[in-house]
Amino acid sequence: MAVRNSIRWSTQAEADDMTASLRGELRTNESMAKHCSWRCGGSAKHYFMPADVADIQALLKQLPQDEAILWLGLGSNLLVRDGGFDGTVIATQTAMTQLELKDETIVSAGAGVSDARLARFSTRQNLTGGEFFAGIPGLVGGALAMNAGAFGGETWRQVLSVETLSRDGNIHTRRVDEYDISYRHVALKNSSQQEWFIAACFQFARQDAVAASEVLDIKHYLSKRAATQPTGSASCGSVFRNPENDFAARLIEDCGLKNKRIGGAVISEKHANFIINDQAASATDIEQLIELAQHTVYDRHGIALQTEVCIVGSHS
C-alpha cells in the first residue's frame, strides 16, 4: 500500500498495511531523540528496522518515488530538527551486520557493522590498517558515505569495492574509481540515481603475531580519544570539517567560543569542535550554536566552516 502524502504523519493503520509484506518492524511518528547521540530532535513519519537487505527492497517497492529516505546508523553524525523528518528512516544497525575474513588481508563488512567492531575484528585477524576505525563512533555505512576518519586514517584508503542499493531496489557492486573521494566527501560519478551503501570489502595488511601485539593496540586509540574529546557527553562527535591546513577546533577556540551556550547546548570546554547537549537542549539550540560558530569564525578569520554533521528535517 502506498503511503499517502496528503497528511504530515501516517497513521499506525497505514503502517500495519505496509508491514504485511515486511519482516522487520515499521513504526510511525517515532521520536528521533531516542536514536540520535545528541538526544534531541523531532519525530520521523516512518521508522523502519529491517530484517535484512531483502526487507529493505520490499519496503522501497511500496514507498512513493518522492518519499524522503534517511539511512540511519548509530545517529552519531545527525541532527534532526525539532519539526521532525517527513519521510522514512531506515535503521541499518538491525541488518547488514555480516563481518568475515574473505582472504588473508581482505575483510568484508556490512553497512550495519559498527566501526569499533570492524577495528576489533581486523586486529584479531592480525591485520593492521584498520585500527583507526575504533575512533569513529558510527557504523560502516556512515563511514563509507562520508569517508570518515580518525587518528590519521581514512575509510576509503582501505576500500577495495562496495555494494550499494539503489532507490529502485537493485543491488550494485561498485569499484573505488567510480567515486569522487576526498576529505569527508564521497559521490558516485556520472549518476543521478540515489544509492546507499550496504557492504564493503576492506584491504588491510598482515602482521605477524608478535608485531600485531605491539602495533595493533586499539586501547591506545580509545585512550587518546577519551583524553582529548568529551566522549561521555551527548554530542555528535566533530561538528565541523577541518579546513585545509587548519583545525576547526583551533579556529573556534581562538574566537573565545569555548563554553559558549545557547539554551541547553554548549560548546565543549574539552574540544571546541564538539557541541554538548547537557541541559535538555532542543535541536534549535544546537543549530543556532552551529550557526554562531560559523558566523564568528568567518567574521574573524574569513574561513567558512563546513558542517560534518548531517542536518535534516523541518524547524516546525
Write out the catalytic residue numbers.
Answer: 184, 238, 308
Provide φ and ψ at 32, rounded to 5°.
-80, -10
Provide φ and ψ at 146, rounded to 5°.
-120, 10
Sheet bearing 171-175, strands edge to edge: 99-101, 106-110, 195-203, 159-166, 171-175
Question: 26 by DSSP, 3-state: which?
Answer: strand
Q: What is the DSSP letter of 19?
A: G
Q: How far, in whole angstroms, is CA 160 from its chain's centroid?
A: 20
d(CA 241, CA 109): 26
d(CA 300, CA 313): 30
d(CA 253, CA 67): 40
d(CA 70, CA 42): 14
Q: How many CA atoms lie within 13 A of 230 on its CB side?
A: 24
C-alpha cell at 114: 559498527
Provide φ and ψ at 241, rounded to 5°.
-70, 150
d(CA 133, CA 265): 28
